[in-house]
Amino acid sequence: MELPISFKERMQRLLADEFSNFEAAFAQPASVSIRVNSNKATANPDLPRVPWAENAYYLPVRPQFTLDPLLHAGCYYVQEASSMFLEQALKQAVDLSQPLHVLDLCGAPGGKSTHLASLISEESMLVSNEVIKSRANILAENVAKWGTGNVLVTSSDPSNFSRLPEFFDVMVVDAPCSGEGMFRKDPQAINEWSEENVKLCAQRQQRILMDVWEALKPGGLLIYSTCTWNEQENEENMAWLAAQEQAESIKLELNQSWGIVATELNGVAGYRFYPHRIQGEGFFMAVLRKQGQEGLSHKSSKKKKYKLQPASKKEKALVQDWLKDPEKYEWLQYGEVVSALPANLFEAADEVYQNLHVIYAGTEVAEVKGKKLKPMHTLAVSQHLNKDAFTTIDLDLELALKYLRKEDISLDSSGNDWVLLQYNNVPLGFAKQIGNRVNNYYPKEWRIRMELPADLPEVNLVIS
């Protein structure tokens, strides 16, 4: 791998005697890591752990993840290990037992958003944003599969968040960057790299930070990260923001065995991940606290007219038993879709709807078709699904993958009702049984597109 000359020169200055080990790491294969959804699955105890994240593991080889139905069911997420350091920032600097408003500004494809959803309390709300519509749809898919039900996925420009002043307790900005830390994993990133692009990225990051800063409440926390190593996009940007807004740098405790490098510029602490020191790719993180009185009160727009519309009593009565603890939800209806949102989040969620473009929220439960109701796929993968409300059928690996490819399948049963299809007792989605015929209702935009091999490998990474 031929690294850019100016990049090598800078890294030699930064790393001194360590540079030869750093350069040699690019010849090694990238590690493979997953983060397990503990509300759906139990990890294989023989897998080595990612040391800074509780439910994260390294895999010895990279399997064909597409052929594992448990991935599609939201049992785990394939995520780069370095980025999971987000967990340490949250656990060390935030009281996660409190009801929080959290923003993941650059959320796609969903690694940090699903991680945040696992860390915050059920009473908290996560707004997961992605400005690019196509990527926002992928983000919504992964959030729905994770299934916590307290996430709103938005597709809005960072400048729009000024409409929600002092709204968020925590902001995560995994900023678009020059991608130096991904050179080993994505060699194409080398061809796109230049000193000019580094400068442009640093300027763009400053604009993004200033666009959203007003939405962070006094005493709130900004967690900033990139997958690059240059100081312009990292330490210099954080020192600039701290000086501009008199923000406080938050230092995190590190275990020396982790191999993470702590840095400091103008009193602002940062944390660097190098592939020759840790089992993962390049990464940087810093944590700042906004100046002002800390507290959990949120400003309200005090609009008396809500944008969110309640579902009718009739529709609510028909679908409320499809979720566990139905009394905990506000039941809403947009067009033909009936959704459930935790009742304590209703007013805050309505503020988000009033000011941002929301593409997915809570748990979409059912689609109303005249006098008929169709259970939504997002209900099947929700952590709050009441499985007792449906007939369940367990599929073997071959049938599960055919279902996920949205192929016609046959079941050894008959009837005239909705059935919940499972794999290893984990829900995959719904089908409609009409006599001996089965209609496959797996979402066509989520379907597996690869051809299935003749001999299917049994992918058993997660369930012990």
Annotated binding site: 130, 157, 174
Q: Evaluate whether 364 touches 370 at the Cβ level (below 8 Å).
A: no
First-to-last C-alpha distance (Å) of the chain: 38
As annotated, the binding site for S-adenosyl-L-methionine includes 130, 157, 174
106 given a catalytic annotation:
no
Residue among 83, 134, 88, 157 at smallest CA distance from 113: 83
Which tokens hold the place of 434? 């009409």
The active-site residue, picked from 106, 177, 201, 227, is 227
111-119 and 133-146 helices cross at what angle (nearest 10)? 40
CA distance 420 to 162: 43
Token couple for 145? 């599969």
Pick from 288, 171, 287, 285: which is nearest to 228 by CA?
285
Residues facing 168 on adjacent strands: 216
E strand or H helix at 225: strand 216-226
SS3 280: coil
Complete DSSP assignment for 310-362: BPPHHHHHHHGGGBSSGGGEEEEEETTEEEEEEGGGHHHHHHHHHHS-EEEES
Say if residues 255 and 227 touch (Cβ distance below 8 Å).
no
Q: Which residues are known to be catalytic?
A: 227
